[in-house]
Amino acid sequence: MPKPFKPSILKMTARNVSVAYGSKIAINDVSIDVDQDEVVAFIGPSGCGKSTFLRTLNRMNDTVASARVTGEIKLDGQDIYSPDMDVVQLRARVGMVFQKPNPFPKSIYENVAYGPRIHGLAGAKADLDRIVEKSLRRAGLWDEVKDRLSDSGTALSGGQQQRLCIARAIAVDPEVILMDEPCSALDPIATAKIEELIHELRGRYAMVIVTHNMQQAARVSQKTAFFHLGTLVEYGNTSDIFTNPREERTKDYITGRYG
């Protein structure tokens, strides 16, 4: 599926990144590049550190007191762990969608408008309305909710909630979107919708998606990274990884020998 000969523009680069929770090393010496218009999938058995690594990419791990990150992660060439990087702005540029849909217990409108508000992206109410509509449209949710924007976001179905969360992330116009098992709490139909959405958003945002589901990785991503016990075992084009893995461990995992 990935287009073979498009020149790629590097969006994020991680070099020799290690993460420890206290004395427990969760990620060990991982280097990865994320391109401007690709979807990267992280796969690997439970506890191998996929989420941990994903969360280092927008410094969400800062909220875990015991987490220590070493190595270098750059966004557009700028070190995101340097002291003069403003975490708040970083997170606006690198958005995140979580495993469990987590809309705010506010109206649908307010959910989407929250980001633009705190970042002062919209001057007038009309601006804000425009941003909200655009984001909901991009997230493929506009038609379903346009008549009930003032309903609570938590009243939506699971799949809708997850799309609302994507719309919310889109609303601050991020450059990268990180998704941590966005479909694992959803039923197959909702899953399909999200996958479709990822397809549509590709090119506009660089995306990194963690998934337990290998078929999903195969369906949505151009590159796949396979983690095991905190190390990056293999990283390459998705088609290669699934049909012709270089490493024995990758192959064993993909064919279901362990996991």
Partner 1 sequence: MSDTLVPQIPVTNAEPVRRVPTDWTTQAMQSRIRRRYASERRFRFAGLAAVWLSAAFLAYLLITMVMQGASGFVETRVSLPVDLAAAKLPIEPARLVGRGADLALAGAGLEGTVDLAATKAFGKDGTDLLSDGAWAVVRDAIKADPSLLQRRTVFEVPVSSPIDVAAKGNGTRDAEAIVARLKASGALTRGFNAGFLTSADSTDATRVGIWGAFKGSLLTMIVTLLLAFPIGVLSALYLEEYAPKNRWTDLIEVSINNLAAVPSIIFGLLGLAVFLGTFGMPRSAPIVGGLTLALMTMPVIVIAGRNAIKAVPPSIRDAALGIGASPVQVVFHHVLPLALPGILTGTIIGMARALGETAPLLMIGMRAFIAAPPSGLADPATVLPVQIFLWSDQVSRGFVEKTSAAIIVLLVFLLAMNGVAIYLRNRFETRW
Partner 2 sequence: MSPIALLFLVLGLGLIGWLTARVRATRFRAGSTVRFSSLPSHHGWYVALWTAIPPLVFLVVWSMTAPALVTDAVLATPAAIQLPPPGFDRASILSEARSLADGRSFGAFHGLARTLAPSYAAAQSRYDWIATAAALLLAFAGGALAFTRVKPGFGARTQVERVVMLMLLGASLIAILTTVGIVASLLYESARFFSVVPITDFLFGTHWSPQVIDARDPGASLGAVPLFWGTFFIGAVIAMIVAIPFGLMSAIYLTQYAAPNTRKWMKPILEVLAGVPTVVYGYFAALTVAPAVRDLAVSVGISWASSESALAAGLVMGIMIIPFVSSMADDSIAAVPSSMRDGSLAMGATSSETIRRVLLPAALPGVVGGVLLAVSRAIGETMIVVMAASGVATLTLNPFASTTTVTKQIVDLLTGEAEFDSPKTLAAFALGLTLFVVTLLLNIVALRVVKRYREAYE
Pick the stretch among 39-47, 116-124, 125-133, 223-231 that binds partner 1 (CB under 8 A). 116-124
The residue whose two tokens read 């809309």 is: 103
β-strand partners of 152: 107
Task: Give the contacts of 119 (CB within 8 A, at least 6 positions apart).
Answer: 92, 172
Rule CB under 5 A: choose which of 18, 36, 51, 216 binds Mg ion.
51
| 92 near partner 1, rule: CB under 8 A | yes
Which residues sit at the interface with partner 2, rule CB under 8 A?
Answer: 58, 60, 63, 65, 86-93, 95-96, 98, 100, 102-106, 114-115, 118-120, 123, 165, 168-169, 172
- Binding mask 151-190 toward a copy of itself (x if CB under 8 A, else -) reads ------------------------------------xxx-
Site for ligand ATP in 26-85 (CB under 6 A): 26, 44, 46-52, 64, 66
Interatomic CA distance for residues 14 and 11, integer angstroms: 10
Nearest CA-CA partner of 103 in 47, 151, 65, 39: 151
Interatomic CA distance for residues 148 and 131, integer angstroms: 17
- Binding mask 191-230 toward partner 1 (x if CB under 8 A, else -) reads xx--xx--xx-xxx---------xx---xx----------
Residue 95's binding partner out of Mg ion, partner 1, ligand ATP, none, with CB under 5 to 8 Å set by partner kind: partner 1
Tokens linked to 201: 């958003």
The H-assigned helical ranges of 119-154 are: 125-138, 142-145
Residue number, 93 or 251, with CB nearest to partner 2: 93
Query: How would you list the strands of the sheet with 78-79, edge to edge?
Result: 24-35, 10-21, 67-75, 78-79
Distance in Å, CB of 212 to ligand ATP, minimum: 6
Residue 44, Cα to own-chain centre: how many angstroms? 16
Residue 237's binding partner out of ligand ATP, partner 2, partner 1, none, with CB under 5 to 8 Å set by partner kind: none
- As a whole number of Å, the CA-based R_g of the chain is 18
Residue 51's binding partner out of a copy of itself, partner 2, Mg ion, none, with CB under 5 to 8 Å set by partner kind: Mg ion
Residue 2's binding partner out of ligand ATP, a copy of itself, partner 1, none, with CB under 5 to 8 Å set by partner kind: none
CB atoms within 10 A of CB 2: 16
Interatomic CA distance for residues 186 and 96, integer angstroms: 17
Residues of this chain that bind ligand ATP (CB under 6 A) = 21, 24, 26, 44, 46-52, 64, 66, 212
